[in-house]
Structure 1
Amino acid sequence: MMQPIQGAPGRPPGQEPLQTGSVPGELPLSSVQRTVLERLVIRLIALTQQQSAEVWAGVKHDLGLKNDAPLLSRHFPAAEQNLNQRVETATQNHTTRQIISQLTELLGQGNNRQAVSDFIRQQFGQTALSQLTPQQLKTVLTMLQNNQIVIPQPQQRPATERPLLPAEHNSLNQAVTKLAAATGESGKLIWQSMLELSGVKTGELIPAKHFAPLMTWLQARQTLSTHPAPTLHTVQTALKQPLDPIEMRTMTEYAQQNWQATPQTVLTTAQVQDILNQVFLRRTERSPEALEIRNIQPIYSPFVAPIIETVKSISTRPGLFFIALLVVAFLFWLVS
């Protein structure tokens, strides 16, 4: 009886020893035929991790033979072709698995995943690696290894453009609540003012870069809300980040041009808020003209305002003008 080649699986199950005098075509596999088939089986086992008996059973099944039937010499051409096809398929699958393994490792680096996704969509009309042929997978791997696929830049927004974090929003909300309690103003209106200052519409998110300026704005408003006679100098000391010399000069000129107020002039609540608004706009590099100025009161007391308006109206009537002046002088004397 002939021995199998070194390292090869045993002869096919059911294979009988060579019988002399058998009918041509019904002879068992020759040693050369058996060696060819056994080498193919060894390659297939290495590629698929199948067992020898499992491979031989598969071949016999494909040839229409029972598992316990012997392979004869007439079966050799079909068996060889079957094993060659199996080896070719297994080789392709093995190569594909290796390519996918290498691609998977590379996809985790930088923006490779997005780059490959864009590439296969543009080149092959596919959206997943599993939909590509082995040759297409090899092309993608080779191009990625050779830096031939354009890597997109990160699409993350700059840190200054991100919206407020939940913790930052909560901090602002607590400051709004304290200001509302101190001034009696509606928290909703305070938030609306903050949205207008930040240049966002209702429903939009405030940029995170405005968090610190808004906290300064809220804290300064709360501090100044209890001050009996706030001036520009008072505003300066109430700010967590005081006005620098350029800002102080700018605010002084602003108060002078709009209300003829000096740094020592007592400001109304509306004027204090306007100054704080202007500081916020300049520190966030927003145009002061972007904020609509509302309800800015003149620097004189509301009690005196009706008198001034009355004087203006009667100044065109000489008969009453002198009497009006006397009345105004008397009222000022009472106030002082």
Structure 2
Amino acid sequence: MQPISGTPPRPPGDGPATSSVAGEQPLSSQQRTVLERLITRLIALTSQQNAEVWAGVKHDLGLKSDAPFLSRHFPAAEQNLNQRLSTAQQNHTTRQIVSQLTELLSQGNNRQAVSDFIRQQYGQTALSQLTPDQLRNVLTLMQNNQLSIPQPQQRPATERPLLPAEHNTLKQMVNKLAAATGEPTKLIWQSMLELSGVKAGELIPAKQFTHLATWLQARQTLSTQSAPTLHTLQAALKQPLEAREWDSIQDYARQNWQATPQTVLTTAQVQSLLGEIFLRRAERENATLEVRNIQPIYSPLFAPVVDSLKSMSARPGLMFVALLVVMLVIWLVI
């Protein structure tokens, strides 16, 4: 295909074309049209401007800002724009999926169902840690009602929310973590809500305060380490792992990533392990509370009888009379 004759408009920063050597001519009309169409599609998916995209392509190709695009630059520029467009399309799709998920999470007990599912299937504790394919799978399952939705759990009347002082303490720790990692505070709070198992609009129960503080402190400490391992994770916990917990977490790391206590962990793996520790400790605490609330097997049906026997045992004379009455009743029946 032959270039269209004439001098086409040039991208910002392009100087006049003077060379006629093969490959040193300015971009042809067809080449410029191809690149501009890619840029138009890219701008539609991002907040970038036309000049900004042209400048970015020049930077990636190693061209000076005032250097013109030449015919020989076209293949590399087209490939660069196609890569940028592919990334933008993936990000756009991911944002759409997250938006749809967020809308569905606010319905019923979907949040708890999704939290349980991604922890069991992907070893993660927050949606922000999932890949686009994993997010798409979760959305499809939710839309097709294929996730097991847990029944609503009634909280004890005595379960209070965080006090203002406790909330402020967590807020300060979240701000410090965000400053250290660059992660938005909104995502950190979202992860904390998902860990605590509360729905949008609910308050975090006070019983989670200690666990959340430990989780935040550990993340803060581990964010400064370039090669974290299970051993450094253990050392970062304000409340160290007990022997049984240590064995359990080692098994979790080995089953999910074939990791040993000496294996260097990724940021996602560290967050997954900390989330697992949080959930297991919270579940253990709940189980302990439930055991404490179990009533004796004779209560309440036999409670009056037992109380009466206790009273009689303190008065031997009355106990003797009661025994005679029981024996007389048995004799008459026989």
With the length of structure 1 as denominator, give the TM-score of the two structures. Answer: 0.48
Structure number with the bigger relative contact order (C-alpha 8 A, sep ≥ 6) is: 2
Determine which structure has more spread, i.e. the larger CA radius of gyration.
1
With the length of structure 2 as denominator, give the TM-score of the two structures. Answer: 0.48
